Structure 1
Amino acid sequence: MASSQEPSIHDDDNEDESSELHACISEEALNALNEMRKGNLMCDAVVNVNDGSFNVHRAILSSCSSYFRALFTNSLSLEKQNVFIPDMRAAIMEEIINYAYMRKCDINPLNVHELLALADYVGMTGLVKQCKIILARMLTPKNCFGIMRFANSFRFCDDLYKKARTFLLRHFTQVAARNEDILKIGLDDFLDIITDDMLNTRDEELVWKLCIKWIDYDVNDRQKHLPQLMQGVRLGLMTPKFFMDEVKDHPYVVKCVEARPLILETLSFLYELDMMRPNDKELVTPLIAIPRLPHEVMFAIGGWNGGTSKSAIETYDTRADRWVNIPTEDPAGPRAYHGTAVLGFKIYCVGGYNGVEYFNTCRVFDAVKKTWKEIAPMHSRRCYVSVAVLNGQIYAIGGYDGINRLNTVERYDPKSNQWSMITPMNMQRSDANACTLDGRIYATGGFNGQECLSTAEFYDPTNELWTPIPSMNHRRSGVSSVAYRNHIYVIGGFNGLARLSTGEKYDPETETWTFIQEMSHARSNFGLEIIDDMIFAIGGFNGIATIPHTECYVAETDEWMEATNLNVVRSALTANAVSGLPNIRDYIHQNRELLMEDRRQRMFPNIGAIAIADHFESADEEMYVEGSE
């Protein structure tokens, strides 16, 4: 779900070091040692700083600090040692000593930078690690460049530097709008950012505008760097109007002779793009038009077509606008009408149907390792199941067990690998959909065995109750939903008579439903997901045929735009976005220099090579698993 709050980073892979320590030393023992220190009992050293002094036990400080170990082991005297540490405030030394005794201390935004530097000075690697974790969690568009620059000044902070830089690239749009520090950096550092393939923007115009802001910050010194900056901007990805109005005719460009060859190259490319013909020679995409790499990809898994379930996996590369076939199908076999959920880099496939069996089995795909494995089965078989994630746990909601439409709900805990039954819904719902917003799960629409539903309800884990909300404007079975910009968007589906192209959004504040712009294609049982701050509708069934069409909704303009079709035509699939994959290049379009040629071939296909039957299936085959028993 997109959020109006500033994004931040959380390093969930780093466990609390104090919990590891407590496995072997009790908290009571730690407290006792610290109380002895405060009472000056059996202390054998005094640590002095400019504005204070501290009685300590040499053995305790030596156990976690290479600096104090070297200092105290040089003398075996039984007399109390006095040591002085220059350039350290008493408030910081207090936290360092607290960490030495308790393996925890007060790390906050006001002291974390100083504490990290001095923890490194005294050789407390554990405290250094905790400071880096806190700094990573503090990352925002306003401070990420400052943290990146701070991390770069320490030899041991490469991991923090990479996290800050990744954050900056991922949230470039907000960084460009809010971060003033980026305007103060030198040419090399600025070029390093704007030329990076991982710079996350779907509008190259923003990169150009930032370049102009960077020059304006010190025009006299920086205007001469314009040609180098223009080489870093993907000018061929701009709209022709923006390029002509804002780049070609910009005063800086008009006065710069060295910029003219790049302007001519871009004009030539945009002309070829506009005048593309079927008999043109093979087009090679120039560097100025090769798209950057995405930070997230969308996985389309499984589905139904031609009376059979499918095991196909495709990923969508938003920057290249291409679907990519992924050869990592589940060896356990295909499934359709299932649910999926993402936790980290893992995609959980829940329930479903393969044309013969209604599943209670669940499988998980690790997108980094590219492996599948079985997890604990659900208590009930669930086809047409709704799946949502809340607080790191997966909820399987309603569905059809082959006999009955269900109102039961069960919850999966990945830590224990166990499903547990929770409060059932107020209504039976199969072919519904669920999503999470503000700590609640919203279940919308569906089929109860007699009719398609317009009702909706939400689950609140604090009271473990399902509560009805106002009904939608349309009945919707085989519907899809997402939480987006503090609203629940419910789109498409089947009203009992026809497949729908309509969509509506629910505002929890006003408890009202309002229509949004209709899709170009009516559809039910399709994938719906948010990626690149747009809502994508993928595949599905239009009442006559299974369709490959993908389209995306832009909230700012309330309009749907066409995107590239699926490679494998199917309905009853799922779509999930996965962010930050370390192996993201495995899931994107590989031959990016051939994207323009690929586009030409799509515009002018060899009609004789297309078997229309591959794209359209009879309605009778789909209706068997489309809500009828």
Structure 2
Amino acid sequence: MSLSSSVYNELCLRKQLCDAVIKVDNAEFHVHKVILCNCSIYFRALFNRWSSPDNRLYEISSVSAAVMKLVIGFAYTNFVPVTHKNVQELFVTADRFNVMGIIEACSDFLEEQLTPHNCIGIWRFTDSYYYPEIKNKAFRFLLNHFEEVATTSEEFLLLSAQELCKIIESDQLIVKKEKTVFEAILRWVSGSTEERREHISLLLSKVRLALMPPEYIMKSVDDYEVIKSSEECQTLLYRATMLDIRTKDLSSSNVCCPLARPRLPAAVLFAIGGQSRTDGIEAYDVCANCWVKLTDNELTPRAYHGTAFLNGSVYCVGGFDNVEQLNTVQRLDLDTHTWQEVAPMHSIRCHVSITVLDGYIYAVGGHDGDNWLLTAERYKPRTNQWALIASMNTQRGDACCTTLHGKIYICGGFNGRECLSTAECYTPETNQWTMIACMGNRRGGIGVVTYAGYVFAAYNPDTDTWSDMPSMVQRRSNFGIAVIDDRLFVVGGFNGLSTTAGVESYNIGADHWSYVPDMKISCSALSCCVVYGLTNIAEYAAPRPSLEVSEVEGDKVI
């Protein structure tokens, strides 16, 4: 509170120099007109246009004395205590009086309280008031947590058919499997009266039915009476089984059908830089199963660098720009699409290993143009500073590191004489590196990532042992590696003869590798990271065809 605000508040509490009285029920509040006018255009109109200048008493109805006291207190102190008990009435009153500061405080409180069990209620509540920011945040939360909302929230069963349509037709609805949406509709229909059955065909037309296994679709016709009794529903399901799109991407004409339109992904895999790549970034859209070229001439050409995603930004660290080894760092703000050069590292680091832990970016080892390094440092974005940490036990570059259970693991690499099978881990609390069990093979240009509780290439930290896993389909070094959609992806690299655009993924449940669509450009010495939690994820995903709402006509889906 400023000094002037403190003085005005003291005068108000002592009822000194007040020129108006606000009466609510039996309570009277002595106030200064100019203070309330500064807080709200409602009070400005009340004092100047809706009453005579000499009027002193103003009776206000349809608001409690307790909430009016909070509104007046905010006018004097610019602070309001928001609680579970008062937030709804306070929001409604602030909206009525157009007190934007209180609306913002209530919105911030509601955002912090969002859960899968109350997000629908908050979304519906804010639908009655024009403050789109909190309404949009509640809706995005609902879309991002739909699986839990649909299966556990009592509010879900209270949705209207129109509200449910708006949710399930959104490209931004996040579900691992489309049958989650299908089963949510059936839960909603079965949870109420007969009239909801009338909406089943409309709701099913919003589901990406062709993304569901055909055998599951056909079984559903027999298992659910509400579907069996509807000719329109059966037509939709039959049409979906005829669309063979499960191995196709957005280039397929079938995907232009509303029943097959892929939803937007929750996360996107970035492949950045590398040899043979001069214009920046490619992004893999896991839902559309295709790569998108994100041309960006502001990115310094880099190979043998590292990348990290942190706080909505991608950092490109160190590497080689085809002329010299680098200690520079560039940050891409994914919200604004702008690049900025941030603080450089203490050391030049080409062939560097990068990872993120507890809000820090760690840069480990590498080559400075003369020597292979055992030093390491970490970057704190809030202060834009790098600080040295303990050095490793072994010089290594062309290695790879990852985090697991609060520790950093670095494996393999090259020390200037030979490729390494050694590995070590770093504990931030003790600032100490510790040697762990050696890998079964020497590996330079290795890719290492945390996946399903293991350090993959593949190491079990609980037993300090390495174990074999199925070999990749294609041999490669200096490739990108990341985990997305519960699968491990390896991207590009050098296959012993040339660079490759090839990509493959590993599913630990199936225990095998499978091909993924190639990148658009062959390259090695690239770096990968996964970006997520973006409100503008559509700007980095594959373009979705612009479609009209689907309709059912006879035996056709338009």
TM-score band by shorter chain is: 0.7 to 0.9
**CA 1:389/1:82 → structure 2, altered by over 3 Å: closer, same or farther?**
farther
- 1:589 alignment counterpart: 542
Tell me if the contact between 1:538 and 1:551 (Cα under 8 Å) persists in the aligned partners.
yes
Shift of 1:43: 5.3
SS of alignment partner, residue 116 of structure 2:
coil
- 1:575 alignment counterpart: 528
- 1:154 alignment counterpart: 129
Tell me the C-alpha RMSD between the 2 structures: 3.7
Shift of 1:208: 0.9
1:306-325 aligned within 5 A: 311-325=279-293
CA distance in 1 between counterparts of 2:403 and 2:102 reads 36
SS of alignment partner, residue 405 of structure 1:
coil
| Letter aligned with residue 551 of structure 1 | E
SS of alignment partner, residue 326 of structure 1:
strand
Shift of 1:401: 0.9
**CA 1:76/1:255 → structure 2, altered by over 3 Å: closer, same or farther?**
closer
424-433 or 190-199: bigger deviation: 424-433
Correspondence 1:236 to 2:206: no
Shift of 1:245: 1.7
- 2:258 alignment counterpart: 287
SS of alignment partner, residue 217 of structure 2:
helix
CA distance in 1 between counterparts of 2:101 and 2:468 reads 52
**CA 1:361/1:273 → structure 2, altered by over 3 Å: closer, same or farther?**
closer
- Is there any run of 5+ residues in structure 1 with no aligned partner, and where? 1-21, 493-502, 594-629
Correspondence 1:178 to 2:152: yes
Shift of 1:483: 5.3
CA distance in 1 between counterparts of 2:153 and 2:140 reads 15
Correspondence 1:491 to 2:456: yes
**CA 1:349/1:84 → structure 2, altered by over 3 Å: closer, same or farther?**
same
Shift of 1:564: 2.0
SS of alignment partner, residue 340 of structure 1:
strand
- 1:613 alignment counterpart: none
Correspondence 1:195 to 2:148: no
SS of alignment partner, residue 282 of structure 2:
strand
Tell me if the contact between 1:478 and 1:525 (Cα under 8 Å) persists in the aligned partners.
yes
Q: Deviations over 1:288-308 (max 9, x none)?
A: 22222224322211123xxx6
Shift of 1:366: 4.1
| Letter aligned with residue 353 of structure 1 | F
Correspondence 1:431 to 2:375: no
| Letter aligned with residue 379 of structure 1 | H
Tell me if the contact between 1:309 and 1:355 (Cα under 8 Å) persists in the aligned partners.
no
Correspondence 1:264 to 2:238: yes
TM-score by length of 2: 0.83
Tell me if the contact between 1:443 and 1:456 (Cα under 8 Å) persists in the aligned partners.
yes
1:211-230 aligned within 5 A: 211-230=185-204
Shift of 1:191: 1.5
2:43 to 68, 76, 85: 68
Tell me if the contact between 1:152 and 1:161 (Cα under 8 Å) persists in the aligned partners.
yes
Q: Deviations over 1:234-284 (max 9, x none)?
A: 2211112212222465332222223333233233334x989x9xxxx9867
Correspondence 1:381 to 2:348: yes
| Letter aligned with residue 367 of structure 2 | Y
1:122 to 94, 97, 118: 97
Shift of 1:484: 6.0
516-525 or 347-356: bigger deviation: 516-525
CA distance in 2 between counterparts of 1:388 and 1:101 reads 48
CA distance in 2 between counterparts of 1:533 and 1:154 reads 40
CA distance in 1 between counterparts of 2:101 and 2:207 reads 42
Correspondence 1:419 to 2:374: no
| Letter aligned with residue 88 of structure 1 | V
Tell me if the contact between 1:202 and 1:319 (Cα under 8 Å) persists in the aligned partners.
no
Shift of 1:441: 5.6
CA distance in 2 between counterparts of 1:256 and 1:430 reads 64
Shift of 1:154: 0.5
98-107 or 117-126: bigger deviation: 98-107
Tell me if the contact between 1:517 and 1:560 (Cα under 8 Å) persists in the aligned partners.
no
- 1:409 alignment counterpart: 376
Q: Deviations over 1:16-45 (max 9, x none)?
A: xxxxxx7xx46xx55555455445565555
CA distance in 1 between counterparts of 2:173 and 2:302 reads 36
SS of alignment partner, residue 314 of structure 1:
strand
CA distance in 2 between counterparts of 1:523 and 1:34 reads 71
**CA 1:232/1:580 → structure 2, altered by over 3 Å: closer, same or farther?**
same
179-188 or 208-217: bigger deviation: 179-188
**CA 1:123/1:454 → structure 2, altered by over 3 Å: closer, same or farther?**
same
SS of alignment partner, residue 537 of structure 1:
strand
CA distance in 1 between counterparts of 2:465 and 2:115 reads 33
CA distance in 1 between counterparts of 2:169 and 2:30 reads 54
SS of alignment partner, residue 226 of structure 2:
helix
Question: How many residues are matched?
Answer: 536
- 2:490 alignment counterpart: 537
SS of alignment partner, residue 359 of structure 1:
coil
1:397 to 348, 364, 367: 364
**CA 1:388/1:216 → structure 2, altered by over 3 Å: closer, same or farther?**
same
**CA 1:259/1:51 → structure 2, altered by over 3 Å: closer, same or farther?**
same
Shift of 1:56: 4.4
CA distance in 2 between counterparts of 1:125 and 1:385 reads 49
Shift of 1:115: 1.7
Q: Deviations over 1:521-572 (max 9, x none)?
A: 4554332333334443323345566443433445666665542222222332
SS of alignment partner, residue 232 of structure 1:
coil
CA distance in 1 between counterparts of 2:260 and 2:328 reads 45
TM-score by length of 1: 0.74
| Letter aligned with residue 140 of structure 2 | T
CA distance in 2 between counterparts of 1:369 and 1:447 reads 36
Tell me if the contact between 2:316 and 2:330 (Cα under 8 Å) persists in the aligned partners.
yes
**CA 1:252/1:76 → structure 2, altered by over 3 Å: closer, same or farther?**
closer
- Is there any run of 5+ residues in structure 2 with no aligned partner, and where? 547-558
CA distance in 2 between counterparts of 1:44 and 1:482 reads 69
Shift of 1:138: 2.5
Tell me if the contact between 1:410 and 1:419 (Cα under 8 Å) persists in the aligned partners.
no
Q: Deviations over 1:37-96 (max 9, x none)?
A: 44556555554544755554444333213333444555766x9x5544434344434433
Correspondence 1:327 to 2:295: yes
- 2:552 alignment counterpart: none
Correspondence 1:301 to 2:240: no
Tell me if the contact between 1:301 and 1:573 (Cα under 8 Å) persists in the aligned partners.
yes
SS of alignment partner, residue 319 of structure 2:
coil
1:605-624 aligned within 5 A: none
CA distance in 1 between counterparts of 2:86 and 2:253 reads 59
Tell me if the contact between 1:142 and 1:178 (Cα under 8 Å) persists in the aligned partners.
yes
Tell me if the contact between 2:409 and 2:426 (Cα under 8 Å) persists in the aligned partners.
yes
- 1:96 alignment counterpart: 71
Shift of 1:207: 1.1
SS of alignment partner, residue 193 of structure 1:
helix
Shift of 1:359: 0.8
CA distance in 1 between counterparts of 2:253 and 2:52 reads 78
Shift of 1:352: 0.4
Tell me if the contact between 1:46 and 1:53 (Cα under 8 Å) persists in the aligned partners.
yes
SS of alignment partner, residue 504 of structure 2:
strand
Shift of 1:340: 1.4
| Letter aligned with residue 213 of structure 1 | R
| Letter aligned with residue 490 of structure 1 | V
Tell me if the contact between 1:379 and 1:419 (Cα under 8 Å) persists in the aligned partners.
no
CA distance in 1 between counterparts of 2:120 and 2:79 reads 28
**CA 1:520/1:172 → structure 2, altered by over 3 Å: closer, same or farther?**
farther
Tell me if the contact between 1:530 and 1:577 (Cα under 8 Å) persists in the aligned partners.
yes
1:137 to 85, 100, 112: 112
